[in-house]
Amino acid sequence: MSSSFIPHPSSFLLSVRNLKTYFFQDEGTVKAVDGATFDVYPGKTLGIVGESGCGKSVTAQSILRIVDAPGKIVEGEIVLTRADGSQVELTRLHPDGEEIRAIRGADIGLVFQEPMTSFSPVHTVGNQIIEAIRLHTGASEKEARQRGIEALHSVGIPKPERRIDEYAFELSGGLRQRAMIAVALSCNPRLLIADEPTTALDVTTQAQILDLLRDLQQQRGMAIMLITHNLGVIAEMADEVVVMYLGRVVEEGSVDDIFHAPKHPYTKALLSSIPSIESTPRIKLPTITGSIPHPYNRPSGCPFYPRCESYIQGTCDAQEPALIAVNERQKVSCFLYK
Amino acid sequence: MIAYIVRRVLLAILTIWAITVLSFLIIQLPPGDFVTAYIATMSAGGAGITEGEAQALREQYGLDQPFHIQYLKWMGLIAQGNFGMAIEWGRPVLDVIGDRMVLTIVISLAAIVFTWALALPIGIYSAVKRYSFLDYFFTFLGFIGLAIPGFMLALIVMYIGFAYFGASVGGLFSAEYADAPWSLERVWDLITHLPVPAIVLGVAGTAQMIRIMRSNLLDELRKPYVMTARARGLSETRVIMKYPVRVALNPFVSTIGYLLPYVVSGSIIVSLVLSLPTVGPLLLKSLIAQDMFLAGTIVLLLGVLTVIGTLISDLLLMWIDPRIRLGRQ
């Protein structure tokens, strides 16, 4: 692998280096993830934030090796530390092999944005939760059912022994997402990947689900990789934040640094476009000029330069900035900090 | 749920009644009646028929009475289990239809089994391995299957079977069993004759069904529940067979209802070419002869089969799809 790698830190749970996942289509190649680098530590929450289409979800799918065709990981390393301390390089595993399947659901749980469509419409919630438990623990049908009921109970679903035999469409949106979390956590994963877990829910339910995730994290000491476009959710939940733009990490740092001392022009622009209760009323909310480039037509150099206020002609459009440390806690990919 | 079933059954009965009126009406619609057709046949053969004889025939079959009286008489007979005489055959309608109906159902089932056994696996393969060589290959074959008219395919298969394999083609029985009473040997003879008509009758349906299965499954494969199933660590085969295939199969259950009538009425020409002793050619003949009791009974039978088939497929759908069973009413 490339020698320009930032070395894997010690004691990481998941370490992603220079991940590139491309979709090869007749019309061209979509570089959905184009050199993402970040780490997840045990028991901590990593927030991944960015606009739609910046490669957040594909990053999550790449980690689990469930990227749909024609998507493919073309480069990079994803190293996972397992419960016994051994480390696995996930990109080297066969995507339908036994090794990765033993990790999916057991070491890493996944929660999706849309709880309605994340469950099969013709199988009960219990069927799907019991299936996962039996697959990873070899428990009997009866034991697995008992554990399934406990899992539903642990995410605050009332009357779990009845709910387990219901279908997802019989549950309310909030309960559905709780059930989804129960399925993802049924085998006690050490990492939970939550891909926009609250986007499809109403605001009150959103807060409840976030509280639930935080409680579960404290009880179980699991790490969470929280993918969202909502900076409010990030501020509330994350320890570390990764800001992505067009498949790349543009800035990485602790949640305080990102919100109080953002370095990258994109992060700054994102933060200034959030309406605040303290801002002057009746003025136009700042927005980022331009729009996300078409995936087949990515700009050369820094992908953000056409929309950037600090664009340096001859540099930003010619070379690609690397993710470099600007201080002990923060890394930025921008020529302003060279 | 029980209320739903009761309502459906009552509606089915009402529909069947409407079918009796309509089928009787349709048969009566063309100008002339059985006697006109009979006279035409007789004079074509050189034997004339007098006006008096024609009148006597009309009176004998009640053809001189108004429409609604004829209809009521017909319904009265049916209520007693008597479907009237097949005038042209000189035998009761049920006698004429009986054996042919059994053979029709046997052939239809064979064609359906052939269709499903071939179309479902190919459809699943084509969807899962979309744009692969075999997907294009099956698509190509499928369109050829759709484009070739059934009777043409029947002729080709018969020719190949006869010229290269010396197989006795056409019909459902070898000569020695054609009019023999039912026996094990006769059943075996029937089974060996089944593949050719089953394939000919099933090809177009197979091609169509591959396309439907492929597009149904492609829709389902894109749904998030497939990805979450994968994320639970299930093997790819199990993910696909348990979830999207299961959902993609549901629409097929709703087609069970009209499969049988389709095979009967959609295959008349093929049945004629293959000289199959099924109901299709019989219906055609009876319509040409304006044999209203025979034609009426067949049309009525097809209608009833459709209604019952649809009822069964609706109940089946309710059973296999919880969204229908438990959906908000």
Residue B263: per-residue pLDDT: 66
A172 pLDDT exceeds 90?
no
pLDDT one-digit tens code per residue, A151-163: 999 998 999 999 9
- The percent of residues in chain B predicted with pLDDT above 90, rounded, is 16
In a domain, B284, yes or no: yes
Domain match, A160 and A261 both:
no
pLDDT per position as a tens digit, A279-335:
777 778 778 877 888 777 788 888 888 888 888 888 888 888 888 888 888 888 888
| Pick from B228, B236, B250: CB nearest A110 | B228
Query: Is A283 among the domain residues?
Result: yes
Q: What is the pLDDT of residue A1?
A: 40
Task: Check B228 against A64: CB less than 8 A apart.
Answer: no
Residue A141: inside a domain, yes or no? yes
Number of Cβ within 10 Å of residue B314's Cβ equals 19
* B169 band by pLDDT with thresholds 50, 70 and 90: low
Q: What is the CA radius of gyration of chain B?
A: 24
The number of beta carbons lying within 10 Å of the beta carbon of residue A5 is 12
- Which chain B residue's Cα is nearest to A118? B225
> Mean pLDDT over residues B152-158, rounded?
87
A55 and A122, same domain (yes or no): no
Span of B7-11, B204-208, B258-262, B274-278 with lowest mean pLDDT: B258-262
Are A61 and A200 within one domain? Answer: yes
B329 part of a folded domain? no
Confidence of residue A9 (pLDDT cuts 50, 70, 90): confident
Domain that holds residue B228: 102-289
Dist. CA B191–CA B193, nearest whole Å? 5
> What is the total count of domains within chain B?
1
Compare CB distances from B233 to A61, A101, A117 and report the shortest one's residue: A101
Same-domain check for residues A207 and A181: no
Q: Residue A169: closest CA among chain B residues belongs to which residue? A: B323
DSSP-H helix ranges across A188-230: 203-220
By the CB < 8 Å criterion, does B329 face chain A?
no
Within this chain, do residues A273 and A300 fall inside the same structural domain, yes or no?
yes
Judge whether B317 lies within some domain. no
pLDDT of residue A299: 81
pLDDT, position A217 = 93
Residues 6+ away with beta carbon under 8 Å from A163: A125, A152, A157, A171, A175, A179
pLDDT tens-digit series, residues B173-212:
777 777 777 788 888 888 888 888 888 888 888 888 899 9
Is B175 inside any structural domain?
Answer: yes
User: Could you tell me if B326 lies within 8 Å of chain A, comparing CB atoms?
Assistant: yes
Predicted confidence band of residue B304 (pLDDT cuts 50, 70, 90): confident
Place A115 in a pLDDT band, splitting at 50, 70 and 90. confident
- Residue identified by tokens 């070739």 is B148
Taking a C-beta distance cutoff of 8 angstroms, is the pair A303, A245 a contact?
yes
A99, A55: one domain = yes
Query: What is the pLDDT at residue B167?
Result: 67
Q: Is B129 on the interface with A (CB under 8 A)?
A: no
CB pairs A-B closer than 8 Å: 81
Strand ranges inside chain A, DSSP E: 14-25, 28-40, 45-49, 71-81, 87-89, 108-111, 191-195, 223-228, 240-245, 248-254, 324-325, 331-332
Kindly list the residues from chain A whose CB atom is less than 8 angstroms away from the CB atom of residue B247: 120-122
Note whether A183 and A306 are same-domain residues.
Answer: no
Residues of A in contact with B321 (CB under 8 A): 122
pLDDT averaged over every residue in chain A: 87
Domain boundary (A188, A209, A227) is at: A188
Kindly state whether residues A131 and A41 are assigned to the same domain.
Answer: no
Chain B 219-238, residues with CB within 8 Å of chain A CB atoms: 223-225, 227-236
A104–B236: do the CB atoms touch at under 8 Å? no
Give the best residue of A24, A26, A112, A118 to mutate against chain B (max B CB count within 10 A). A118
Q: How far is CA A197 from CA A35, A231, B303, in A?
A: 25, 14, 52
Is residue B262 scored above 80 in pLDDT?
no
Query: Which residues in A lie closer than 8 A to residue B320 (C-beta atoms)?
Result: 122
Give the residue from B111, B132, B263, B91 showing the smallest Cα distance to B198: B111
Q: How many CB atoms lie within 10 A of CB B233?
A: 24
- Whether B67 shows a pLDDT value over 90: the answer reads no
Residue B245 has pLDDT above 70, yes or no: yes
For residue B14, tell me if it sits in a domain. Answer: no
Q: Indicate which of A99, A123, A125, A180 best probes the interface with B, i.e. most B CBs within 10 Å of its own CB.
A: A123
* pLDDT tens digits for range B97-146: 888 888 888 888 888 888 889 999 999 999 999 889 999 999 998 888 88
Domain shared by A132 and A102, yes or no: no
The alpha-carbon gap from B214 to the nearest alpha carbon of chain A, in Å, equals 17
* Burial category of B48 from C-beta neighbours within 10 Å (exposed 0-12, middle 13-18, buried 19 and up): exposed
- Could you tell me if residue B141 is inside a domain? yes
A230: pLDDT strictly greater than 70: yes
Rounded to an integer, the average pLDDT of B256-262 is 72
Would the CB atoms of B231 and A123 count as touching at under 8 Å? Answer: no
Say if A270 falls within a structural domain: yes
Q: Helix (H, G, I), strand (E, B), or coil: what is residue B147? A: helix
Domain end position, chosen among A155, A188, A221:
A188
Residue A4 lies in a domain: no
- Name the pairing type of β-strands A240-245 and A45-49: parallel
pLDDT of residue B329: 41
pLDDT digits (tens, 9 = 90+) for A196-213: 888 888 888 888 889 999
Same structural domain for residues A63 and A162? no
Q: Is residue A5 part of a domain?
A: no
What domain range is A127 assigned to? 113-188
**Residue A3 within a domain:** no
Q: Is the pLDDT of residue B89 over 80?
A: no
| Closest-CA residue of chain A to B248 | A122
Question: Using 50, 70 and 90 to split pLDDT, how confident is the model at A63?
Answer: very high
Tell me the residues of A at the B interface, defined by beta carbons under 8 Å apart.
61, 64, 66, 68, 96, 101-106, 108-110, 112-114, 117-124, 128, 131-132, 135-136, 167, 169-170, 180, 183-184
Total structural domains within chain A: 2
Q: Which residue of A has its CA nearest to B232?
A: A105
**Residue B173 domain-assigned?**
yes
Same domain, A220 and A273: yes
Is pLDDT at B28 greater than 80 in this prediction? no
User: Between chains, do B232 and A128 touch, taking CB under 8 Å as contact?
Assistant: yes
- CATH number of the domain to which A301 belongs: 3.40.50.300
Are A105 and B320 a contacting pair at CB < 8 A? no
Looking at the structure, do residues A70 and A95 belong to the same domain, yes or no? yes
Say which residues have a Cβ less than 8 Å from residue A45's Cβ, sequence separation at least 6.
A217, A223, A224, A225, A226, A237, A238, A239, A240
Q: What is the pLDDT of residues A272-291, one digit of tens each?
A: 888 777 777 777 877 887 78
Q: Which of A213, A218, A198, A128 is nearest to A165 (CA)?
A: A128
Nearest-CA distance from B28 to chain A in Å? 48
| pLDDT tens-digit map of B220-241 | 998 999 999 999 989 999 999 9
**Residue at B79 is within a domain:** no
- The minimum CA-CA distance between A101 and chain B, rounded to whole Å, is 4
Q: Which of A161, A188, A215 is the last residue of a domain?
A: A188
Residue A66 placed within a domain: yes
pLDDT at position B271, please? 83
- CA–CA gap between residue B164 and residue B315 (Å, rounded): 47
The CATH number of the domain holding residue B259 is 1.10.3720.10
- Among candidate residues A50, A48, A69, the one with its CA nearest the CA of residue A60: A48
Which band of pLDDT confidence, cut at 50, 70 and 90, is reported for residue A58? very high
Share above pLDDT 70 across residues of chain B, in percent, rounded to a whole number: 94
Q: Which comes out higher in pLDDT, residue A22 or B165?
A: A22
Instruction: Provide, as residue numbers in chain B, all residues whose Cβ is less than 8 Å from the Cβ of A106.
Output: 233
Tracing tokens 């469409």 back to the chain, one arrives at A169
Assess if residue A198 is contained within a domain. yes
Beta bridge partners, A325, equal A331
CA distance A156 to chain B (A): 21
